[in-house]
Structure 1
Amino acid sequence: MSGAHILAITSGKGGVGKTMLSANLAAALARRGEKVLVIDADLGLANLDVVLNLHPRITLHDVFTGKAPLDQAVIDAPGGFQVMLAGSGLIEYSRLTPQVREQLALLLDTVRPRYDRVLIDTGAGISDIVLYAVSLADEVLVVATPEPPALADAYATIKVLAMQQGRTSTMLVVNQTQRPGEGRHVATQLQAVLQRFVQLADGASITLQPLGNITLDTAVRQSVQKRQLLMLAYPGSDAAQDIREIARRLAEATATAAAGLQSPP
């Protein structure tokens, strides 16, 4: 389908830096010249507005309930991209209803022609609403940290996406790494476990696409406490440099995939 490349950014476990990555990756991609929209699809526990220090007058809740048109919910964010923010604590969005299903699909169909890339910042875990949001994306990026609980949850998420959605290729970013090569080591371990324990019906295997790692960096916590993007507050930090490299690899992967689709058979 023409229009924006849609990437869902998700995680098996909360607190691994998924929303931080979504916001800063959007800024890094915008710096590369892409027109980017970030949609906060964590509809019950939204916090992208906190990370960006934005106070939206119109949220996705208003759009979904017909109180405001979609265009009024799109706002400019620091970093040169746009966002659609969700209200927090809305119990009606904690489960996947037919209305939420229809509204999310319509939303993406509407915005896709307007952007180069749309990032969907999902909730954590494998609830119906998270899985449905991911199903609307062209590709999925799973965020994990090196700790065993986060890796176990990342494994479970990737397995469910493969079994339910047929996703045999999943991008991976390892956050909060402390040693050189730790991100690559984690990706190799996770790939080995998937190959050993996940058997798909058609004999296909799951391939991880490691996009890189983000160094454990005090600048990340400081930027979050300031409610500023890391890419703007501490652009020279190790973590900011890691995110720029992830953006480069993501852009290259997208270009390669697009070239493959356009080449004659």
Structure 2
Amino acid sequence: MSESPSPVRVEAPSPEVPLKPLGKVMAVTSGKGGVGKTFVSANLAASLAKRGHKVLVLDADLGLANLDVVLNLYPKVTLHDVFTGKAALDDAIVRAPGGFSVLLAGSGMVEYSRLTPNVREDFLRIIGSLLPRFDMVLLDTGAGISDVVLFAVSLASEVLVVATPEPTSLTDAYATIKVLVGEQHRRIVRMVVNQTTRMGDGRAITTQLQQVLDRFVVSKPGEKVRLVHVGDIPADVAVRQTIMKRQLLVQHMPGCQAALAIAQLAAKVEDFLIGKAA
């Protein structure tokens, strides 16, 4: 194997000091579970890889990781092994179906479900080593606003919130965005609405959430938060079919409506994430 690029040094600030988000890292997160966040992360990565980018998805849901299940992978080495020094980072990076790489967490990492100084340092060390190797790094975070989730999101220059049209999903998405603005001073949050049933639903939902944010949430005095709608993924029977078979939708049913929507999402992500890193 050729010599690896030198890792990027990422300093670990005190908990009171906000992290400086990293240019080509995007966090894919959600207010609640079950909205298709990992499905979006995996298929988006495959679409970006198809566009010629070297992409890695890091499973940042340390307690309830399931990226391996979605991709039908059985890793012998996981992020846990790297954190504990039992394996090298290169041994844990796995080639996934769809032409991208993954760093899988392994489920049930109870000791990493809280943001201890060791977890912070491990995360920073891993991210710093990954950045020189990939065009884009997607962080598939856990759902909600735990300290581990918020720390993972803080490492990213861009945040993609996945929601569905269900009221509970939208309420939790709003709560998540409110925390990201309040604690991380986010001024732009991007949103994709999954499982839509009518064209335009996602844009209408995003507009409604924007109106609520305009009334109740500000990043800094005088600065409004901008919620950017980047796409809808329509409800599609093909999604369930591929999930049950543990296949990537964009790879096995690329012509279906949901796969085409993800391809459009990938084009937008390419524009704002690569442009920011340049």
TM interval, short-chain normalised: over 0.9
With normalisation by structure 2, the TM-score equals 0.90
Q: Name the structure where helix makes up a greater proportion of residues.
A: 1
> Which residue does the alignment assign to 2:230?
211
Paired letter, 1:192: Q
**Equivalence for 1:49:** 68
Specify which of 41, 44, 51 is matched with residue 32 of structure 1. Answer: 51
Equivalent in 198, 207, 212 of residue 193 of structure 1 = 212
Q: 2:178 touches 2:217 (CA, 8 Å); kept in 1?
A: yes
Q: Is the 8 A contact 1:4 1:116 kept in 2?
A: no
Please give the alpha-carbon distance, in whole angstroms, between the structure 2 residues aligned to 1:257 and 1:207: 17
Aligned counterpart in structure 1 of residue 101 of structure 2, from 82, 100, 124? 82
Name the SS of the counterpart of 1:75 in structure 2.
strand
Cα 1:68–1:257 change in 2 (3 A) is: closer
Q: Which residue of 2 aligns with 1:173?
A: 192
Choose the corresponding residue for 2:148, options 116, 129, 152: 129
Contact 1:7/1:120, CA 8 A, preserved across alignment: yes
Letter in 1 for 2:211: A
| Counterpart Cα distance in 2 of 1:31 and 1:99 | 36
Opposite residue 252 of structure 1, the aligned amino acid is: D
Match in the other structure for 1:108? 127
Mapped contact 2:158–2:273 kept (Cα < 8 A): no
The correspondence for 1:241, drawn from 260, 271, 275, is 260
Residue 203 of structure 1, CA deviation: 2.0
Percent same amino acid among aligned pairs? Answer: 61
TM-score when normalising by structure 1: 0.95
Q: CA deviation at 1:204?
A: 1.1
Distance 2:263 2:110 in 1: 36
The root-mean-square deviation of aligned C-alpha atoms, in Å, is 1.5
Total equivalences in the alignment: 259
Who is 2:269 aligned against?
250
Q: Report the CA distance shift for 1:148/1:88 in structure 2 as closer, same or farther (over 3 A).
A: same
Letter in 2 for 1:226: K
Q: CA deviation at 1:202?
A: 2.3
TM-superposition CA deviations, 1:103-152 (whole Å, max 9, x none):
00111111001110000000000000000000011111100001111001
Query: What residue number does 2:170 align with?
Result: 151
Candidates 62, 67, 77, aligned match of 2:81: 62
Partner of 1:10: 29
Question: Relative to structure 1, is the Cα distance of residues 217 and 199 closer, same or farther in structure 2, using a 3 angstrom cutoff?
Answer: same
Deviation at 1:258, TM superposition (A): 5.1
Report whether the alignment pairs 1:224 with 2:249: no
| Preserved CA contact (<8 Å) 2:161 2:191 | yes
CA distance in 1, matches of 2:96, 2:23: 18
| Higher mean C-alpha deviation, range 143-152 or range 201-210 | 201-210
SS of structure 1 residue aligned to 2:65: coil
1:3-54 deviation per Cα after TM superposition (whole angstroms, max 9, x unaligned) = 9710000000100000000000000000000000000000010000000000
> Equivalent residue for 2:13?
none
Q: Which residue of 1 aligns with 2:201?
A: 182
Contact 1:39 / 1:120 at 8 angstroms: preserved in 2? Answer: yes
Amino acid at match of 2:199: P
